[in-house]
Structure 1
Amino acid sequence: MANNRKSKRKFWLWIGLAAVVIAAGLVVAVKASGNTTKFEPSQLAKAQRGDIARSVVATGKITPITQVIVKSKASGIVTKLDVTGEDDTVHG
């Protein structure tokens, strides 16, 4: 008897699942068929391939995210500054 009850429960579970799937399909079909947006002819244009040239002109102030102030504890005149260049030679 318990096995018969489980079979009935499975049957109704499958029926309920099928009903949900069918209802979801109907909702999607109604939504898709109801989307009949009309455009005015002035809003339509033929697609063309070409370059887009746009420019933006703006005014404002550019500020850094972080600012570092470099100071020396000693004062004096720099007489020579060795710098390593791209070719790894020292220029003075």
Structure 2
Amino acid sequence: MSTPRPALAVAGNIPQFVLSDRLRKARESAEMTQTELADVIGISRRSVSYYESGESAPKRPQLIAWAMATGVSLSWLETGQPLIMSPSPTPDDQAVRVTGRS
């Protein structure tokens, strides 16, 4: 009898979803079935099911394809950490950069 895997790992007081949960959430947020995703990324539906259940883990090429097909960042799929983007510069920031003065 196998032990059930935890749905969440906890870092401090902040829950962290495991890879299999992130894979499922990415697919569901893209409103794709397992079969649709499998067809798009070129793997079997069974592989999608195994990855989402945590029975096996996808290799990096599958993770890249999964991220592209579902519109999530590869970084988030791999680590659970959101991709941090630099804030867009304001017009004032751009003026300082171009003229060298504020």
TM-score, structure 2 length as denominator? 0.18
Q: Pick 1 or 2: higher relative contact order, CA cutoff 8 A, min separation 6.
A: 2
Identify the structure with the greater helix proportion. Answer: 2
TM-score, structure 1 length as denominator? 0.19
- Structure exhibiting the larger radius of gyration computed from Cα positions: 1
